[in-house]
Amino acid sequence: GAVVSQHPSWVICKSGTSVKIECRSLDFQATTMFWYRQFPKQSLMLMATSNEGSKATYEQGVEKDKFLINHASLTLSTLTVTSAHPEDSSFYICSARNGPSLRGYTFGSGTRLTVV
């Protein structure tokens, strides 16, 4: 079946540094990728929607300059957390539409980011 590979699975970084999270679709073309953020024991909150070759659409309240999303190819989308702070510590997970079926969504395995 459709697989989205997300890396890294966990990362610890220092405050002020930037961290890049990658999501690759391994056996399908992901024209649309969704990026979610999840705090402990809470739901998934959509951060942004990215389409290959165009600028991402961010949800209200999400800082575009803080969370840079690039969807340069049909198989790769990246989320860069810039100038990370402890409050950015969270679980980040991507999801891709894996075809025309209305039920077709594939999730990455998630990235646990800890900023110290």
Partner 1 sequence: AQKITQTQPGMFVQEKEAVTLDCTYDTSDPSYGLFWYKQPSSGEMIFLIYQGSYDQQNATEGRYSLNFQKARKSANLVISASQLGDSAMYFCAMRPQGFQGAQKLVFGQGTRLTINP
Residues that bind partner 1 (CB under 8 A): 32, 34, 38, 41-46, 49, 57, 91, 93, 95, 97, 102-103, 105, 107, 109-110, 112
Judged by beta carbon, residue 46 or residue 82, the one nearer partner 1 is 46
Judged by beta carbon, residue 38 or residue 82, the one nearer partner 1 is 38
Exposure of 22 in the CB half-sphere (CA atoms within 13 A): 11
CB atoms within 10 A of CB 28: 18
Residue 103 corresponds to which tokens in the numbers above?
């039920």
Give Cα separations from 61 to 44, 100, 111 (angstroms).
Answer: 15, 30, 21
Judged by beta carbon, residue 45 or residue 82, the one nearer partner 1 is 45
